[in-house]
Amino acid sequence: MMVSSIWAENRTEPEPNEAAILNLSCYKFVPLGNLGEMRQELRQICDQLQIKGTILLSREGINFFVAGPPAAIAKLVAHLRTYPGLADIQPKESFSNDQPFSRMLVRIKQEIIAFGVESIDPARYTSKKIPAAQLKEWLDAGRPLTLLDTRNNYEVEIGTFNNALPINIDHFRDFPAAAANLPPETKDKPMVMFCTGGIRCEKAGPLMEQLGFQEVYQLDGGILKYFEEVGGAHWQGECFVFDKRVALDPHLLETATTQCYACQHPLTPTDQASPLYTPNVQCPYCCNLVAEREKRQRQARQFELNAFAANLPGKTPYDNLRPLNVPQRFAGLRVIDFLDQLHPHVGRSSWEQSIAAGRVLLGGQPVSVDLIVREGMGLRHLLPNTVEPEVNANIKIVFDDANIVVVEKPAPLPVHACGRFNRNTLEWMLQQVYRPQRLKLVHRLDADTSGLMVIARHRRAATALHQLFQANQVRKTYLARVYGHPPEDTFQSVAPISDGPENDGLRVVADAGLPSETQFRVLQRFADGSAMVEARPITGRTNQIRIHLWDLGFPIVGDTAYLPDRKLGHNASKVPGASPLCLHAWKLELPNPFGSSSADAEYSWETAPPAWTNASLWNFEDSEPKRWSVDAPSTTEARAAR
């Protein structure tokens, strides 16, 4: 395989595999003209050859770091050598299995390496260069000199020469000020400067001479050329490189070092093992900054939620467009028949009036009553001047990170849009404060149930949480105040629950229903005949805890749907200030599914018990407390007698 002279020169090893990626870095300070034309030509050539990386062009010269198939790289270098002043460029090279760059950039810059000192012109003058082999000889002999590392602090931290003096900067633009503050005694002995590929020293060396340093050398070709020619002698650690490889060892091979997603600091395997490291979130070098930023963001979101509580978003009249998507089972029906069957509680005449008034829309246009609907068709129902019922919007953010949000939901508050509610819902308000991110609901609570909910911040998190719920790995613990004194301290219900509404539109226990299980533990029996019960649902059916307790003869205090004596009521949401449904999602525990070494292996949250958990009596508007005999039949007997 013909590669190029840049690969073949001084090589004794076999030619690389066809699939190998050749990485080149090179610079030259030389006056260049026609930069726009040069940029266009190089971009076209790199695109044709499937080369990626960055080429910086300036009137002071060229700086490039590119990667691609060896034959393609050889063609690029051959073309570069046709430009005036670039015929003698000698790129530094290394091989990698994968392409380290994600795209190709060709840019025109004021300087190919930002420095900001106009008097420095490397095309006219640079400090003396010392070859890698000669520097090794000096170091082997213990010759007195100062090794000055001109790189940024984060580069120095992962590797440098033994006993090297760091310039202690975060950006090369800061070099002139830092150099002026070097110890005076360093001016009187030889100084060898070094950087990754040598380009920074081309400007730093002349500056040091201007500052009065008597004998200044720059390492020819930088650290990478030193590795290539003499290996890792007198070097400790790795060398940072500005591509996806992050760091190379003295054999010019990619290491396990990576970079922090947040601050871009290089992270060694030791850094990655730190409990302060969270992939795609933070690292030990920025964790405090990340935590402080997240705290401020959380406080801002809580402030916005508090504003919703003070002035409900559904309180001001607005035009509400409600989605009416067509399921497969309704395909082929007239639109009036589809609407009547989809939402029969609205009434056919009401749907006819809405269609006649032009409030049923398709693509923003009113539909006719005879429109034939298709599966997946997205209709909209316009509800003008909508004003929603009041809710309790005192939502509290308990926890959030890059993957999840945990909130304490108040009651009454619907979780998502339904019936008369759209903006006055937990989902709508959270979406506003976390925008532009779209949160994903993974479970729900009834509008009248308060307590903890976990919500995914992105699709991958939603998938991970769904898997935990399906595998019964999410432990939910509720508090419920019930009518009656269960005779057993611990009991359970495995009564199957209907798959859809049956009696009076409510789900109930049904012999052909879905398998369901809830475990209960009595926490306290009160003198008024009620009891405090801990409930742990093993399955997750709609209204499961309410139905199981009702079926066992211990309905929840304040429940308007599942009443004492196994009577059924209605399931309409309460209004703020009404007697509460005494059901609260108290604790939430789940394994951490996100594979972070910094987070706990298991998440665990607990809220303060609501006021209704204490023993005092108070009046309920929906139903009066009822005294129950302490010698009521056991739950097993109650189920058998039913």
Compute CA 410 distance to the chain's CA centroid, rounded to the nearest angstrom.
Answer: 27
Residues 6+ apart with CB under 8 A from 138: 130, 145, 192
Residues 6+ apart with CB under 8 A from 430: 305, 395, 405, 407, 439, 455
CA distance 59 to 31: 5
Could you read off the pLDDT of 360-418 as tens digits, one per residue?
999 889 999 889 999 989 899 998 998 999 999 999 999 998 899 999 999 999 999 88
Angle between helices 348-356 and 335-342 (to 10 degrees): 130
Smallest CA-to-CA distance from 615 within 543, 525, 533, 536 is with: 525
Compute CA 574 distance to the chain's CA centroid, rounded to the nearest angstrom.
Answer: 36
Other beta carbons within 10 Å of 426: 25
Residues marked active site are found at: 195
In the prediction, which pLDDT does 600 show?
61
Q: Which residue has the tokens 């989605």?
A: 323
Smallest CA-to-CA distance from 484 within 536, 545, 528, 523 is with: 528
The b/e string for 161-196 (b: 16+ C-beta within 10 A; e otherwise) is: beebebbebeebeebbeebeebeeebbeebbbbbbb
Domains within the chain, CATH numbers bracketed: 5-108 (3.30.70.100), 128-255 (3.40.250.10), 318-386 (3.10.290.10), 472-579+619-641 (3.30.2350.10)
Q: What is the DSSP string of 365-432?
A: EE--TTPBP-TT-EEEEEEEEE-PPP-----EEEEE-SSEEEEEE-SS--SS-BTTBSSSSHHHHHHH
In the prediction, which pLDDT does 3 show?
36
CA distance 598 to 381: 47
pTM: 0.57
Task: Report yes or no: 159 and 246 within 8 Å, Cβ to Cβ.
Answer: no
Other beta carbons within 10 Å of 337: 16
Could you read off the pLDDT of 109-136 as tens digits, one per residue?
999 998 888 889 999 999 999 999 999 9
CA distance 50 to 62: 20
Residues 6+ apart with CB under 8 A from 167: 148, 149, 150, 151, 175, 178, 179, 182
- What are the φ/ψ torsions at residue 509 (nearest 5 degrees)? -70, 130
For residue 277 the two structure tokens come to 């490291």
In the prediction, which pLDDT does 571 show?
81
Run means of pLDDT, 10 residues per run, the chain, 642 residues: 39 48 93 94 96 96 95 95 94 89 94 89 94 97 96 95 95 93 91 96 96 95 95 96 92 93 89 88 82 85 93 91 90 92 87 92 91 91 91 94 93 90 94 92 94 95 93 94 96 93 82 94 94 95 95 96 92 87 96 66 90 63 36 35 34
In 463-509, where do the E strands start and end? 475-483, 490-493
CA distance 509 to 550: 10
In the structure, how many helices (H) and strands (E) does the chain have?
16, 32
